[in-house]
Amino acid sequence: MGEALNQLSKVDSVLAGQVPDLGRIVAFRNILIHGYATVDDALVWQVLTERLPGLIGVLRRLQKT
């Protein structure tokens, strides 16, 4: 999802601007991909359980527009 949002920001900055914390999502993706040795498992779990459901809701709403 992080890479897809990164590409979206390059293609449609207006739409990308409607995604909360887009920059943080892309940065998190980069840490997971390139810094996997230092990834905090508790942080990953927290993101998945607390942030992902809200992000999915936003993306579904944007998809309908």
Q: Where are the domains of the chain?
A: 2-64
Q: What is the pTM of this model?
A: 0.80
pLDDT over 80 at 56, yes or no: yes
pLDDT at 38 (0 to 100) = 84
Residue 45 tokens read as 């779990």
Helices of type H across the chain? 2-11, 13-16, 22-34, 41-46, 52-64
The dihedrals phi and psi of 12, each to the nearest 5 degrees, come to -145, 85
Task: Using the predicted structure, report yes or no on whether residue 45 has a pLDDT greater than 90.
Answer: yes
The whole-chain average pLDDT of the chain stands at 93
Q: Does pLDDT of 10 surpass 90? A: yes
